[in-house]
Structure 1
Amino acid sequence: MTDPTHSPLPMASTGCACCAPAPATDHATAAAGTASAGSTAAYQVEGMTCGHCASSVTEELTALEGVREVHIDLVAGGTSAVTVTAEHPLSTEEVRVAVEEAGYTLATD
């Protein structure tokens, strides 16, 4: 018997039990819209544990001038992959400051 008041817990890449999962998007359409121009760069961020963490980082990064999209592959308690698509290349320092403003650390090589 299925309990309709309880839904399965979301996967780490979409949130956690304490946070609402991110809304679903059509990544094929989003990718098609950003592929023609701009710059995409990937970063490693330490310290994020849930969807709220990912939302905080996304909010800070999207506040940077020219940022069009932020995608986070959350690894709760580990190092998460953060991909940023912007109209122009961002400096690592700009990204580092935004990530630290959200309360997390940009991983170093």
Structure 2
Amino acid sequence: MQVFKVQGMSCGHCVRAITQAVQALDQAAEVQVDLAAGEVRVASRLAEEQVLTAIRDEGYPAEAA
């Protein structure tokens, strides 16, 4: 499972936006968002950089944890 630190997440919309962005690239991806910790965990066949790009393209600063 890949873990990312993501800034600016605060609500259900953020969770949906990030989940949909990752699943647009890999429909089978499992995405877990922890708003309090500012973390996103992704189980996917995607490369780490692909996931980071998807999250960043939604407007959220992200980096590998």
Q: TM-score range by the shorter chain?
A: 0.7 to 0.9
Match of 1:48, SS?
A: coil
CA RMSD of aligned residues (A): 1.9
Query: Structure 1: how far apart are the matches of 2:7 and 2:28?
Result: 21
- The structure with more helix, counted as a fraction of residues: 2
Higher relative contact order (CA 8 A, sep 6+): 2
Structure 1 unmatched runs, 5+: 1-39
Identity rate, percent: 34
After TM superposition, the structure 1 = structure 2 runs for residues 14-29 of structure 1, keeping only pairs within 5 Å, are none
Runs of 4+ in 1 over 6 A off after TM superposition: none
Structure 2 unmatched runs, 5+: none
Is the contact made by 1:61 and 1:99 (CA closer than 8 Å) also made in structure 2?
yes
TM-score, normalised on structure 2? 0.79
TM-score, normalised on structure 1? 0.51
In the other structure, the counterpart of 1:100 is 56
Rg comparison, structure with higher value: 1
